Amino acid sequence: QWIESELHAAFQRGDFDVYYQPQHDLATDRVIGYEALLRWRHPKRGMIPPAEFVPVAEETGMVVPIGEWVLRKACTDLKSLPQDMSIAVNISPVQMMTKDFVSRVRAVIAETGVNPSRLELEVTETAMMQDRERAAQVMRQLGDMGISVAVDDFGTGYSNLSYLIDFPFQKLKIDRSFVNRIDKDNGGAVVSTIVGLSRALGVRTIAEGVETEDQATLLRAAGCDVVQGFLYGRPGPLAAMGLDTRPVA
Ligand code: G
Ligand code: G
Ligand code: MN
Ligand code: NA
């Protein structure tokens, strides 16, 4: 209740921030980019996690301007990262299904002047299954602009696999719940199957929520391409990522 009544003013006031979490390439052992993660710095309640306020922002529609703000911030920050690094931005299903979503993305790219191939948009299975034709159209248009599309939280959304494989995307993000269980029971087989599916589809895989060396070893053995998680770094301000982000003269 307080979330709904405070969200708008908090956004106007500038109480939102974007944190970044490194994404680590297993083949080269290097950071290849960052995921942008929204944060609400509440003056009294402290840091409010997105899981608490994003669903409310989706109900009220506030997620549309907030999401565009995150995208603009990420594109701006991208310019101070090394040329070979990318940034991944989460897109709410509500945001993705607005009529002018693709043209808004195009406008932000033009305005910030970033190379679209350095931008990745994370869409959810839920968005894809809500309106399959529209979602596929949006994903195709993003791809045509040179933006990479990742399917986030893969395997958690009750999606129909036979539909999913018809969508144009470049990366599959293996949900934390699978990584959690990779060293238990048939957890390894499940992850190997997801990687195998991705290879058959010609897309890359990224695993999230990697917390231990054992998980990393098993992911490497399974053929996973990229990893993200506390083992490699917690989400934090860009300035805390240990990068030389001085603007190029
Ligand atoms: O950072 P954290 O683990 O608390 O994020 C929790 C969830 O919030 C994640 O599932 C993530 O996808 C979502 N989230 C984080 N940032 C954004 C954002 O900018 N937009 C949307 N729509 N979701 C986000
Ligand atoms: O978009 P998504 O929901 O996948 O966002 C990732 C979320 O998971 C972020 O909010 C981040 O804070 C959280 N997270 C990142 N790394 C780890 C990890 O290694 N373990 C756990 N439990 N959570 C993580
Ligand atoms: Mn994500
Ligand atoms: Na996720």
Let me know if residue 248 belongs to a domain. no
Each residue's pLDDT, cut to its tens digit, for the chain (249 residues) gives 899 999 999 999 999 999 999 999 999 999 999 999 999 999 999 999 999 999 999 999 999 999 999 999 999 999 999 999 999 999 999 999 999 999 999 999 999 999 999 999 999 998 999 999 999 999 999 999 999 999 998 888 777 888 888 899 999 999 999 999 999 989 999 999 999 999 999 999 999 999 999 999 999 999 999 999 999 999 999 999 887 665 555
Residue 172 lies in a domain: yes
Candidate of 11, 18, 35, 38 to mutate for ligand 1, largest count of ligand atoms within 8 Å of Cβ: 38
**Residue 247 forms part of a structural domain:** no
How far apart CA 98 and CA 96 sit, in angstroms, is 6
38 Cα–ligand 1 center, Å:
6
Q: Which domain holds residue 192?
A: 2-240
249 falls within a domain? no
91 touches 121 (CB < 8 A):
yes
In a domain, 41, yes or no: yes
In this structure, is residue 235 part of a structural domain?
yes
* 195-199, long-range: CB < 8 A, 24+ apart: 195/222, 195/223, 195/224, 196/223, 197/172, 198/172, 199/223
Q: Give the Cα separation of 40 and 95 in Å (integer).
A: 19
* CATH number of the structural domain spanning residue 228: 3.20.20.450
Tell me how many domains the chain contains: 1
Residue 246 falls inside a structural domain: no
Ligand 1 atom 20: residue of nearest CA? 90
Structure token digits, residue 206: 């990224």
Q: Which residues surround ligand 4, an ion (CB under 5 A)?
A: 152-153
In a domain, 49, yes or no: yes
